Every structure is written in structure tokens, then in C-alpha cells.
A and B are shown apart, each in its own frame.
Chain A
Amino acid sequence: MTDSIRVSRRFFLKAGSAAAVGLAMGGFRLEAYAEDDADAVFAGWVEIHPDNSVHILFPSTEMGQGSETGLPLILADELDADWERVSIHQLNEDDRRFGNPAFGRVLYTAGSSAVYGYFEVLRQAGAHLRDMMRQRVADEWGVDLDTLATSNNNVTHAASGRRISYGEVVALPGFSQTRLNQPAELKTHEQFTLIGKPVPRRDIPNKSTGKAKFAIDVRVPDMLYATVIRAPVEGESVASLNDKAARATKDVVDVITLPDGVAVIAKTMHASFAGRSKLKVSWTETSPFRNHSSDKTLEAYKRVAEGEQPGEAWRSSGDVNAALETADQIIDETYTSDYAYHAQIEPMAAVARVDPDGKGAEIWVGSQTQSWTMRTATQVLQTTPDRIKLNMMTMGGGFGRRTELMQNYVRDALLCSKASKQAVKVVWTRTDDIKFGAFRPAAAQRMRAGLDSNGRLVGFHHRVATPSVIQYFNPVRWRQVAPNDIVSMRGAENKFYNIDDFLAEHVITERHARILPWRGIGAAYTSFAAEAFIDEVAARAGVDPFAFRKSIMTDNPRGVALLDKVQTMSAAVPLTEGRARGLAFAGYGDTQAAGVAEISVDRKSGEIRVHHVWVAVDAGLIVSPDNAHNQIEGGVLWGVSSALYERVTITNGQVDQQNFFDYVLLRNNRAPAIDIHISKNNERPTQVGEAGNPMVAPAVANAFFALTGRRIRHLPFTPDRVLKVLA
């Protein structure tokens, strides 16, 4: 964004010729909202310039989810803007006026929250400016407001055939003083011209030519390069360093010690790598994390899940223990899941140029939060936000990896730049990225349910033993929400069923690894346990998986419709011999999703193959249908990848995996056919980006049972585990 169109309060005060919705334009204040100052909500979202261009702020950050197009489109629709005249402007500062309403106004792009968080405010801002323009034209032409319509950047008066462009309206004298006599009216859903329509994503052309710029691509004048060798175990630091050979390497400029590593700063990236390979570092080797290995950790979590230690209630209704007392039979199983890695293909990277006084900086980075990137920078440089200029770059995948409160890749770029007094690009290697990654936590889940003598469900107890993710990655947030950890527990609320006596509880276990939100957060494992277990309960009751789920979905017609839909979709395709299908019902947050997976198992190698997945999703009103389809398809394949392959192991505090040869991801030749149905309705928009993956692992596990008669209860379903279960 150029300085002349920078969307900020400062800009509005300077730019007399551009109209903006908001307080800053000459003290504009909407009477109807004045008492609670709610018109502040509109400030800064959009500008119209006399050249008839429309400029809309993008408050989130783009990591592939498509909201860089989807959010401005919502505002543009209510504004009746000509989409071809709309330009989109990245918010590059921690300006909480534009904070995500779904995250307490922190600028935070996570939880599939952009559309549902911003939907109302964007509509109101667009409608408000649209009606300001109608009102100003009504005054100018001396006609009734009701006789003026808007479309494609024009205000029109049907009776006289007159038309005036938005650019001309905002140039009318005193436009910014225009007041509305009543709050702007939002469109009906039938009046939408962009929302729900096939509007292409703005970012795709540049992502098809190599022109899209990611943080790792940034080059600024006189830039140096740094790579960092890091302590192999969390909590350790440099004990001794011999950097003589590294410093003697051609084009190496400096070697500096960081809190948890050593950076080699060089004139070229090649020299930085060469120098790094010559460092001789020993580490303190005193960290308690050296006592932890992932197999023992999971065993410990399992003992906790199966033990008596009380947990924090996540969702509770009725009296589950009393209900289970009355049961004719109890089903009681424990599920486990390993650590998993984000594996975003762009490794962590950042560029920083620290000012000569060491108290200011310009930073180029892909992160899921302007707020915490700014906080990182001000903490590292012990400075104030006005001294920091952020450039939020499009990300080569996020998936939760770039959400941290303290972003150590940004920290390293700042410290290297400060030391070298030049701009520095810090790039992690893939091996750095996995060894110093932060993972979906390992978890053990004990499930108990009762059946009465009629085979009806009485009582459902879901006990999750896993660390608190929030407590680790965002202690500030933890102080506000403790002991409720949505990142660790999402999905366990199981709110789509109507079970009278229900308890989901979180037994917060000791943390033995770095952990972070990971696509689907808790639902990536809680839905696995819950839905695989419901399948077990249904089988014990002797009831078909569709019918059993419907029997406990007594007050959720939208969910029942999805079950019916996915049953119809999958039934239309004949089952191939030697395969079987499994059902799961999960979704994410308020989005419901039903999925059927068709699999086969190679009984010699233990390989499970997923051949076909049918899904039906209800996410309310869909803003961008084609993108929603792409996101759900990607989510389903993420689910397949994590169900079959993805596993981080840790030995004595060190991550064992090194690269994509030992952290295995789904590839094109194992991608199943996917059929997706997305409900069309006008309900409130809900989450899309993470709705696809939680249902997949349980659907595969349930298909495995249908095929083999055996249950597989440890995620992922690697060949060795499959063979063990089949033995």
C-alpha cells in the first residue's frame, strides 16, 4: 500500500478529498448511534476516492484461506461497489479498531474465524457508506432518499434517469458531514451481488506466475542473511562456542549468540549456510526436557486419562456418573494420538531492518497476527509500537504455526539486524523448522458410555489428558481463560448431539514438547476419539451408524439433514469389493460436517488407502462458495494425511524427524476422490477452513472396523499399528 492511500486515522485527517466512513472525517458522527459511540465501528474500513476507486482494508492475514478476497467482498457487496474498482489493502499495524471480534479484538487470523468474526461489521460499514452517499445525493438533487438506488459504484434515480458515480458523490461539498437519519439498512440475502457468487480470488493469478511475494522472498537493499543453529532441547543455551572457522568463511560477516542458539550472519545465504556448518557449539544439556520421550509421555498421559485425577469440566450437562450407574452395560475405551507437525511448505522466515538507535525497525514477515508480531518486536527492542513498521506478507501456509505470542523467528531477525546494523533475512531450514517446531499435542482420551437394556445411550463421558496449549503459547491469553482451553479441547463439547448426561473434561497434563494450535485444534483428536467411540457404542447396541447418530441428534435437524445427505451421496456409488466405508460426524466450532470414507487395507504391508470421501457440510451462509469447496477439500486431505501418516516422535527432548523423508505427508497419488455438498442456507456464517479435517480420522477408523472387525485407537494409523491390530 502506498502512503497516499494508507488506511489509517492519520490518513483520513490529511486527505480532504477522499471520503471515509468514520469518525475521523471532519468529526462525522451518526446521530442514531451517537449515544454508544458505535459509529466508531466503521472508522477506517473503506475509502472512496474522487477517481471512483474503492479501497477496502483487509484486517486479517492471508495464509491460503482466501479471506484476503472474502472479507473485502462482504463490505463491497453492501456498498454496491463495482468489484473491478475495488483494491484491497493489507492492515500492517496493530490497530485494534480492526481487531477480530471473535478474538477480543486482537488482530489474529486463526480458528477459521475471519468471515464469521468480521461479517457483521463489514456489512454495516459498507451499508453505512452506501447510505451516506444516497443521502448526500438526495440532498443534492432534492429527491427522497427512498427514490435513490445504488449499483456498480453509482447512485441512480430511476424517475429522472439521473446517475452519479461514487467518485463524484464523495467530491460533493461537505460529503463527509453527511448524516443518516436512521441506521443503514442491510441487504436481504437475495440482494447480494458478490456474497455467495462465483467471484475469483484476487491472489490466484500471482500465485500461478511466481509473482506472489512471501516473507522468504523479500529482498531489501544491503540485506544480509542469517541462519541459526539452535539448542537441540528446549530450555538450553550455548555452553561453549568455537566460531573461528565460521568467521573465516568467505562472506561471513558476524557470528552472534542468541538466547537459544547461534546465528551466522553473511553477505550471501550460501555463505551463511557454509559458516553455520563450521560452528562448534556445545549446549548446557541441563534441561528437564531431556527426561522426556514421546512414547513415555503418551503412556503417562494414558495413565492420567484412565486414572482418578479430577479434570476441568469443558462441557457438562446432567449427571454422567449417576447415568452410567443405571446403565445395563458400559463401554470403556482409551484413544491416543501422537504429536503432529504443521509442515507449512514455507519455512519460518523474516526480514528486519533495525534503526541505527536500536529502538525502531521495519519488519517483513508472514504471521497470523499483527498484534503478537508487534508485541514481539516491541519486547525484543524494548520500544513502542510507533517505532515499528510491519509488512504482513502472504504466508506459505499457516495452519496455526504462526500464532505465537513471542515469535522467535522475528526475534532472531531483529537481534541479527541490531547486531550487524544492516537489514537481515533469517531463514529456517526445513530441518530447523521441524526440530524446533511446535506441535499438535499428544493426547490420551478415555471414553465411557452406557447403554440401557433397550440399547439406548445413557451417559457419555469424554476425558482428555493433554497439556494446555494456550498456557504455553500464549500465557497472556491463559490468564484470561484458564482453566478453559479451547485449543486443547475443541470438539469434545460434542454439542451436535443431544445427550442428557454428558461430561467432557480436561485433565491438564505436564507439557513435554513445544505445542501450538494445529489445523482443527483440539477437534483434530477429540473428534477422532468421540466419533470412533460412538461407532463402537452403536455397534455394541446393534444399531446402524447412521441410525444411531440420528437417535442421539434429537434437537438438531441441520445435523440430521447432513447425515441423510452424505448417506445418499455415498450410496449412489457402488462399493468396490474388498473395501468398506465408515461414517463420522464432526465439523468445527459451529460448523457441522458429516463424512463417509471408503478404504482398503493391504493386510501384508499394513497400508490403509483411502479411496473416496463424501462430505456434507453446513457452515451457514457461504460467502465464497468455490473457495469454501477448496478449503473443505484441502481440509479433508489434511485429515487423510494426518490419519495415515503424520507423527512426530521425541527422544530425550529432541525431535527425531528431520525432513519430509521421515515426516511423511499425503502426496497426489494417494489423494482420494472427494465429493462435497455444502448446504445452501441463510443462517449465520460459521467456520470453513477447519471444518474438513476432524471427521476424517474417525471415518477411516470406522471404515477399518467395517472392513476388518478390529478397532484402531491410536492416531495415526501407521502400517505397524495396523498390522498389530490385525494380528
Chain B
Amino acid sequence: MISFTLNGTRVETDADPDTLLLIYLREEAGLTGTKYGCGVAMCGACMIHMEDNPMFSCQITLAGVAGLNIKTIEGLSEDGNHPLQKAWVAEQVPQCGYCQSGQIMRAAALLDTNPTPSESEIREWMSTNLCRCSTYNRIVKAVQRASKEISS
């Protein structure tokens, strides 16, 4: 039995401790906002927060999260009203949308520690996350918009 905190709620599971957190979240907990893209920490579609740090959930097993705080896109805000989510809508960022949960979680971790990043800081930070529709420039604009809201 492994227990940890998922989006603010304590959960217990008897799933195989070797199960990837990504697979647990998607197929056991039903939190499908976190996506599978590559399984090797190269695309960022599976990005979540572990103890407020951005992590590739495809690289963590359940055993590795025992006792820790995990946050997914579903726990980022109530009703999608995080400044980044509002900015994502305002800038009309997503195309296919598949990578965007990971992009938003990655960006949220940036603004948590650096509320006013420069453009190049944003681009470097966000380069862990692939977007095949190539919405990169709108992602930058949306992070800047959210940064303004947070810091004003």
C-alpha cells in the first residue's frame, strides 16, 4: 500500500509499486489531463509537480512518490482559472492541445519561482516540452501575459 497526496487529497493504492506515476494517474486515478508522449523525458506531455517541482511523470514510479505531494493539471486551479490557463485561452494557444497540459504545468513551475521571466528565460525553461503543432511563440506570449497578471 502506497499513500501520497494527489491534488490536495490523500490517496492510497495497492497498485504495483513499480507502476509509472503517469500510468497510475491516467489509467487508475482517471486523471487523463496528464499525457503520454514519449516515456523517456523528451517531450514533457506528462509534466506534473512533485513537491512543487516540475517532473516528468513517465520517469517516476509509485514507490517514488510515497508520502509526497503530487499536483496535476486537474489540481492546478478550480474551473481553469489559473492565470496561465486564462492566458492560454486569451492568447488562443492550443491547436491539437495534446501537449498543453504539460506546457502549462511546466510554465506554472517557472512562474512559482520567477514571476517575471525574460523571453529568453521562458524559451529556455519551456524547451523541455515539445509542441508538434509548434505553438511555441504563443506559449511565450501566454506566459508573459500570465506573468503580468501575477506580478501586477
Contact A270 B18, beta carbon cutoff 8 Å = yes
Task: Identify whether the interface residues of A are mostly helix, strand, loop, or mixed.
Answer: loop
Tell me how far the C-beta of B36 lies from the nearest C-beta in chain A, rounded to whole angstroms.
7
Task: Tell me if A318 counts as interface (CB < 8 A to partner B).
Answer: no
Q: Mark B30-52, 1 if CB is under 8 A from A, else 0.
A: 11111111111011010000000
Residues of A within 8 A of B35 (CB): 214, 216, 345-346, 396
Task: Tell me if B133 counts as interface (CB < 8 A to partner A).
Answer: yes
Residues of A within 8 A of B112 (CB): none
Tell me how far the C-beta of B90 lies from the nearest C-beta in chain A, rounded to whole angstroms.
9
Contact A397 B96, beta carbon cutoff 8 Å = yes
Q: Mark B90-132, 1 if CB is under 8 A from A, else 0.
A: 0011111111110010000000000000001011101101111
- Most chain B beta-carbon neighbours within 10 Å: one of A347, A397, A429: A397
Q: Which of B18, B40, B74, B138 contacts A659 (CB 8 A)?
A: B40
Residues of B within 8 A of A395 (CB): 96, 98
Contact A209 B43, beta carbon cutoff 8 Å = no
Give the residue name and chain of the B residue nearest to A626 (CB).
B92
Contact A345 B88, beta carbon cutoff 8 Å = no
Tell me how far the C-beta of B55 lies from the nearest C-beta in chain A, rounded to whole angstroms.
16
Tell me how far the C-beta of B142 lies from the nearest C-beta in chain A, rounded to whole angstroms.
9
Task: Identify whether the interface residues of B are mostly helix, strand, loop, or mixed.
Answer: loop
Contact A200 B89, beta carbon cutoff 8 Å = yes
Given contacts A203-B97, A270-B16, A633-B137, contact A627 B92 (CB under 8 A): yes
Contact A671 B37, beta carbon cutoff 8 Å = no
A91 to B21: give the CA distance in the assembly, Å.
35
- Most chain A beta-carbon neighbours within 10 Å: one of B33, B39, B98, B127: B98
Q: Mark A664-701, 1 if CB is under 8 A from B, else 0.
A: 01111111011000000000000000000000000000
Tell me how far the C-beta of A224 lies from the nearest C-beta in chain B, rounded to whole angstroms.
11
Tell me how far the C-beta of B10 lies from the nearest C-beta in chain A, rounded to whole angstroms.
21
We find that the number of chain A residues with CB closer than 8 angstroms to chain B is: 64
Q: Mark B17-33, 1 if CB is under 8 A from A, else 0.
A: 01110010011101111
What are 23 A-to-B residue pairs whose CB atoms are below 8 Å?
Answer: A64-B133, A203-B97, A207-B88, A207-B100, A208-B97, A209-B73, A216-B36, A225-B27, A250-B16, A269-B27, A345-B130, A346-B98, A397-B96, A430-B39, A637-B137, A660-B40, A665-B130, A667-B136, A668-B124, A669-B124, A670-B127, A671-B136, A671-B137
- Other than A396-B97, A668-B139, A669-B120, give 10 A-B pairs with Cβ distance below 8 A: A64-B94, A344-B98, A631-B95, A636-B134, A637-B136, A666-B134, A668-B136, A668-B140, A669-B127, A670-B127
Give A contacts to B, CB under 8 Å. Answer: 63-66, 200-201, 203-214, 216-217, 219, 225, 250, 268-271, 343-347, 394-399, 427, 429-430, 626-627, 630-631, 633-638, 641, 659-661, 665-671, 673-674
Give B contacts to A, CB under 8 Å. Answer: 15-16, 18-20, 23, 26-28, 30-40, 42-43, 45, 72-74, 80, 85, 88-89, 92-101, 104, 120, 122-124, 126-127, 129-140
